[in-house]
């Protein structure tokens, strides 16, 4: 699943290439991902010129002029490609936009779980989940983070990945954040002290300040289809030694989600 470092890298890449570029042809290929009628999408996008691309939580917001936004929630498997038209399309290409700069911008989704919307810029809350989202994880203040945390009582990993708490944190980076904070992922939020919440808030900033530039550098010259997670410290490293204490990293799979943590550095 694309998370904040991936989406920030994609956003930065697109903002180096798309502003001022016109969409010459619109091809909605796999209907199930679209939440806008095909003819309406084609009529709105064909001939439109891109402005800046923004991000809120796990949504990418494409400025396509006329005070409209093309909004894409990539969900689990959605990815983007910026390639020459001669590059063979993947079977799971859902949307292809032919651009005036000689490239195609493609949205590819192996699981067809992503969602594509077209809405007026002032009506983003019409997009499902948008009005429910808490502040973005990169924008929330310490005070608001504390205040919002008091409303949640479940396991802290579930709280951290709940878009109603803060938006944008997913399974992989929640493991990294909790490791950096020294908090057990299955600890109840209600048992955490203010100092614990402070450590969690600080860990969010530290992890993204560390991870975002790494992913951005890997995607500097090419909008890569794959996710880059090989630099993470605990996520998907079950059985390997903890980089801090050497204890074997634990791995638990529940509800189709893998959780990794160090039982020594993150005591229960």
Q: What is the pLDDT of residues 126-155, one digit of tens each?
A: 999 999 999 999 999 999 999 999 999 999
Cα 138 to Cα 57, 131, 134, 145, 203, distances in angstroms: 9, 18, 11, 11, 12
Please report whether residue 62 resides in a domain.
yes
pLDDT for the residue 223 = 87
**What average pLDDT score do residues 104-130 get?**
96
Q: What is the dihedral of CA 42, 92, 226, 113, to 10 degrees?
A: 80
- pLDDT bucket at 228, cuts 50 / 70 / 90: confident
126 CB contacts (<8 Å, ≥6 apart)? 117, 119
In this structure, are 198 and 95 located in the same domain? Answer: no
Q: What is the pLDDT of residues 4-24, one digit of tens each?
A: 999 999 999 999 999 999 999
User: What interhelical angle do 194-218 and 4-17 show, nearest 10?
Assistant: 40
Assign residue 242 the CATH number of its domain: 1.10.8.50
Please report whether residue 137 resides in a domain.
no
Give the span between the Cα atoms of 167 and 153, in whole angstroms. Answer: 18
Assign residue 109 the CATH number of its domain: 3.20.190.10
Cα 212 to Cα 8, 10, 107, 241, distances in angstroms: 7, 11, 22, 24
In this structure, are 120 and 15 located in the same domain? Answer: yes
For residue 225, is pLDDT > 70? no
**Residue 59: domain span:** 4-126
pLDDT for the residue 254 = 86
Give the span between the Cα atoms of 166 and 186, in whole angstroms. Answer: 18
**What average pLDDT score do residues 239-248 get?**
98
Please report whether residue 134 resides in a domain.
no
In this structure, are 80 and 45 located in the same domain? Answer: yes
For residue 227, is pLDDT > 80? no
In this structure, are 84 and 150 located in the same domain? Answer: no
In this structure, are 155 and 194 located in the same domain? Answer: yes
Please report whether residue 18 resides in a domain.
yes
In this structure, are 66 and 172 located in the same domain? Answer: no
In this structure, are 105 and 162 located in the same domain? Answer: no
Q: What is the DSSP letter of 96?
A: E
For residue 242, is pLDDT > 70? yes
Please report whether residue 222 resides in a domain.
yes
Please report whether residue 89 resides in a domain.
yes
For residue 268, is pLDDT > 90? no
Q: What is the pLDDT of residues 22-79, one digit of tens each?
A: 999 999 999 999 999 999 999 999 999 999 999 999 999 999 999 999 999 999 999 9
pLDDT for the residue 49 = 98
Q: Output the CA angle 116-58-72, nearest 5 degrees.
A: 15
Counted domains in the chain: 2
Please report whether residue 136 resides in a domain.
no
Percent of all residues in the chain with a pLDDT value above 70, rounded to a whole number: 100
In this structure, are 17 and 85 located in the same domain? Answer: yes
Cα 110 to Cα 54, 168, 169, 198, 259, distances in angstroms: 24, 21, 22, 38, 23
In this structure, are 148 and 122 located in the same domain? Answer: no
């Amino acid at each position: 699943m694309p998370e904040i470092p991936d989406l920030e890298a994609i956003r930065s890449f697109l903002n180096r290439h798309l502003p001022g570029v016109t969409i010459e042809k619109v091809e909605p290929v796999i209907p199930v991902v679209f939440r806008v009628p095909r003819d309406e999408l084609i009529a709105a996008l064909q001939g439109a010129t891109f402005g800046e691309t923004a991000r809120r939580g796990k949504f990418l917001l494409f400025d396509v002029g006329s005070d409209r936004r093309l909004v894409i929630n990539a969900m689990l498997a959605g990815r983007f490609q910026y390639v020459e038209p001669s590059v063979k399309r993947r079977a799971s290409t859902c949307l292809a936009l032919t651009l005036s700069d000689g490239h195609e911008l493609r949205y590819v989704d192996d699981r067809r779980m992503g969602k594509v919307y077209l809405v007026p810029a002032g009506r983003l809350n019409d997009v499902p989940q948008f009005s429910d989202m808490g502040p973005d994880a990169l924008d929330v203040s310490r005070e608001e983070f504390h205040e919002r945390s008091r409303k949640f009582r479940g396991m802290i990993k579930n709280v951290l990945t709940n878009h109603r708490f803060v938006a944008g944190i997913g399974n992989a980076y929640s493991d990294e954040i909790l490791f950096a904070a020294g908090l057990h992922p299955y600890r109840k939020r209600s048992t955490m002290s203010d100092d614990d919440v402070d450590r969690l808030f600080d860990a969010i900033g530290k992890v993204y300040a560390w991870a975002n530039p790494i992913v951005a550098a890997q995607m500097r010259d090419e909008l890569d289809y794959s996710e880059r997670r090989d630099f993470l410290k605990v996520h998907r490293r079950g059985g390997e030694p903890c980089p801090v204490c050497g204890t074997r990293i634990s791995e638990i799979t529940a509800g189709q989600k893998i959780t990794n943590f160090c039982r020594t550095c993150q005591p229960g």
